[in-house]
Amino acid sequence: MKRKLALVLTLTILFGLLSFAGQGHAAKVRASLPDTAARERRIAEAAEALRAQMIEQRRDFHMHPELSNREERTSRIVAEKLKALGLEEVKTGVGKYGVTALLKGAKPGAVVAVRADMDALPIQETIDVPYKSQTPGVKHACGHDVHTTVQLGVAEILTKMRSEISGTIKFIFQPAEEGPPAGEEGGAALMIKEGALENPRPRAIFGLHTWPEAEAGQVVYQSGAAMASSDKFHITIRGKRSHGAQPQQGIDAVVVAAECVIALQTIRSRRIDMTEPLVISIGIIQGGNRFNILADEVKLEGTMRTLNEEVRARAKQLMKETLTGITSAYGATSELKFEENAAVTFNEPQLVEETLPTLRRVLKEANVKSIKPMMIAEDFAYYQRVIPGFYYFLGVGNRSKGITAALHTAEFDVDEESLVVGAKVMSNVLLDYLDRQAVSK
Ligand SMILES: [Zn+2]
Ligand SMILES: [Zn+2]
């Protein structure tokens, strides 16, 4: 009994000492950390000072938009700027026109990554602004000109604060977010394949996207599933040609395709949990070449979106089974091919929780709101498959100035005030993240 008591006492003292030592370390690290409020003020001043330069830079990118995997000029400007700022290990040609670079803080610590995409869209700009796209049929209609500019702004602000940075920031400038041209690889997946997340491997990754439904000065976000997985699918249904007046001699691929179109919708309505978002949409159906001949082949193309990787896998399986079942009942055959466009963008809830105080502090509580997940897709998801990540939306709208057009439209524009806001917010997010890692080491 006594020995047991002694053992308990010893363990208690030992545990106390250990946790005291632990607190000692944390307290020491905390004491060596910069005063967050003062640092935030300096970041705000630095972002303000860059206002004119960032506006000019964004307008330059906007006037010279480049399509996915063709970001030669943008990428060159980015790399030159990073070198001029004195970032370390500026690598070009990572995943075609991708650029990565390191900003090493003066103090040891974790590695955190931040990503911006650089490509534009095949859309003819219709707004009449001084910085209108100079390339016919191509426009920065998804705000990637803003993303690239903000991230260059962050690099510039933080290179001047090296002495107070605990750890390393890896900057990733990515091409082809909108998807590489047919037959080419590209985007986040290719950059990862070519080592963007290695040497050194970041512990987490952050990114932002313009969002016209929120006003400049605001940030909106989701915790958990944020954006959908996106799979393009191609279906080929093969039957047998015959005279339109003698259908019994053929296998009518048009009738079979019609049944398949309807049946595929029942996967959503009858086979998958109603609380799980899923959409299967067929956008193209093509077949036949004459009014009185039964088509022997019909091709369909569509997109499937989910917010859950298990639902995604299950729906793919059900599509295959449904098509096989229906076509075989008619004596036809089918082929189904998937082209993966993006995985589910999943914001690690703990990382979101830890980051929210920073967003609220910098922007004021009322300007940070959570929103519902969306069925649009984003290839940032590929980084989040490797490391935890948080992808949030930067408000770029301004109702009073009439800036309200949606992403991917010919009229899309941003309130350039968002450049200053974005640079300020992201700089704080990254430094606060590194501080937390230093404390919890
Ligand atoms: Zn887009
Ligand atoms: Zn985009």
> Which H, E and C letters describe the chain, residue by residue?
CHHHHHHHHHHHHHHHHHHHHHHHHHHHHHHHCCCHHHHHHHHHHHHHHCHHHHHHHHHHHHHCCCECCCCHHHHHHHHHHHHHHCCEEEEEEECCCEEEEEEECCEEEEEEEEEEECCEECCCCCCCCCCCCCCCCCECCCCHHHHHHHHHHHHHHHHCCHHHCEEEEEEEEECCCCCCCCCCCCHHHHHHHCCCCCCCCCCEEEEEEEEEEEECCCEEECCEEEECEEEEEEEEEECECCECCCHHHCECHHHHHHHHHHHHHHHHHHHCCCCCCEEEEEEEEEECCCCCECCCEEEEEEEEEECCHHHHHHHHHHHHHHHHHHHHHCCCEEEEEEEEEECCEEECHHHHHHHHHHHHHHHCHHHEEECCCECCCCCCHHHHHHCCEEEEEEEEEEHHHCECCCCCCCCCCCCCHHHHHHHHHHHHHHHHHHHHHHHCC
Is it the case that residue 3 has pLDDT exceeding 60?
no
Ligand of minimum distance to the alpha carbon of 139: 1
At 28 the pLDDT is 60
Say how many Å lie between the CA of residue 241 and the centre of ligand 2: 44
Is it the case that residue 138 has pLDDT exceeding 60?
yes
Say how many Å lie between the CA of residue 142 and the centre of ligand 1: 5
Say how many Å lie between the CA of residue 367 and the centre of ligand 1: 24
Say how many Å lie between the CA of residue 154 and the centre of ligand 1: 22
C-alpha distance from residue 161 to each of 46, 47, 81, 106, 150 (Å): 10, 13, 17, 9, 17
| Mean pLDDT within 154-173 | 97
**Model pTM greater than 0.85?**
yes
Lookup: tokens for 29: 């690290």
* Structural domains in the chain, sorted by start: 33-227+344-439 (3.40.630.10), 229-342 (3.30.70.360)
Say how many Å lie between the CA of residue 309 and the centre of ligand 2: 21
At 441 the pLDDT is 62
**pLDDT for 315-357, tens place per residue?**
999 999 999 999 999 999 999 999 988 899 999 999 999 999 9
At 16 the pLDDT is 52
Ligand of minimum distance to the alpha carbon of 118: 2
Say how many Å lie between the CA of residue 344 and the centre of ligand 1: 15
Share of the chain above pLDDT 90, in %: 90
C-alpha distance from residue 329 to each of 37, 60, 143, 238, 337 (Å): 70, 59, 49, 13, 21
CA triple 347-110-149, angle to 5 deg: 60
| Mean pLDDT within 76-90 | 98
At 36 the pLDDT is 87
Using CB atoms within 10 Å of the CB of residue 34, give its burial: 0 to 12 exposed, 13 to 18 middle, 19+ buried.
middle
Ligand of minimum distance to the alpha carbon of 345: 2
Lookup: tokens for 291: 């009014």
Say how many Å lie between the CA of residue 218 and the centre of ligand 2: 18
**pLDDT for 216-258, tens place per residue?**
999 999 999 999 999 999 999 999 999 999 999 999 999 999 9
Ligand of minimum distance to the alpha carbon of 380: 2
Say how many Å lie between the CA of residue 260 and the centre of ligand 2: 33
Ligand of minimum distance to the alpha carbon of 144: 2
- 51-63 helix and 36-49 helix, angle to the nearest 10 degrees: 50
Say how many Å lie between the CA of residue 364 and the centre of ligand 1: 28
Is it the case that residue 5 has pLDDT exceeding 70?
no
Known catalytic residues are 119, 177
Is it the case that residue 262 has pLDDT exceeding 80?
yes
